[in-house]
Amino acid sequence: MNHLVISADSHAGADLLDYRPYLESRLHDEFDAWAKGYVNPFADLQAPEAARNWDSDRRLRELEEDGIVAEVLFPNTVPPFFPSANLTAPHPTAQEYALRWAGLRAHNRWMADFCALAPGRRAGVAQIMLNDVDDAVEEIQWAHEAGLTGGILVPGVAPGRGPDIPPLHSDVYDPIWRTCAELGMPVNHHGGAGAPGLEPTPVSLAVFIVEVSWYAHRALWHLIFGGVFERHPDLRFVLTEQGCDWIPGVLKTLDYYFSRFTSGDATAEAKFGGPAAAKLSLTPSEYFARNCHVGATFMKPSETPLRYEIGVERLMWGSDFPHDEGTFPYSREALRRTFHGVPPEEKHAVLAGNAARVYGFDLDALRPHADRVGPSRQELDQPLTELPEGATSPVFSPETIIRAW
pLDDT digits (tens, 9 = 90+) for 105-158: 999 999 999 999 999 999 999 999 999 999 999 999 999 999 999 999 999 998
Q: How much of the chain, in percent, has pLDDT values that exceed 90? A: 84
pLDDT at 40: 79
Q: Please give the Cα distance from 310 to 306 (Å, whole number).
A: 6
Under DSSP, is residue 205 helix (H, G, I), strand (E, B) or coil? helix
Of residues 73, 91, 63, 83, the one with CA closest to residue 143: 73
pLDDT at 195: 87
Q: Label residue 6 by pLDDT band (50, 70, 90).
A: very high
∠ CA 368-374-375, nearest 5°, is 145
For residue range 78-108, what is the model confidence (pLDDT) as tens digits? 999 998 766 666 688 888 999 999 999 999 9
Chain CA centroid to CA 95, Å = 28
pLDDT at 363: 98
Mean pLDDT is lowest, of 172-181, 265-274, 301-310, for 265-274
Q: Please give the Cα distance from 348 to 345 (Å, whole number).
A: 5
Residue 226 has pLDDT above 90, yes or no: yes
> Domains of the chain, with CATH numbers?
6-396 (3.20.20.140)
Residue 317 bridge partners (DSSP): 296
Q: Please give the Cα distance from 307 to 316 (Å, whole number).
A: 11
∠ CA 387-391-395, nearest 5°, is 70
Residues in Cβ contact with 199 at an 8 Å cutoff, skipping those fewer than 6 apart: none
pLDDT at 283: 98
Computed over its alpha carbons, how large is the radius of gyration of the chain? 21
Environment class of residue 404 by beta-carbon count within 10 Å: exposed (0-12), middle (13-18) or buried (19+)? exposed
Chain CA centroid to CA 305, Å = 22
Mean pLDDT is lowest, of 91-100, 240-249, 302-311, for 91-100
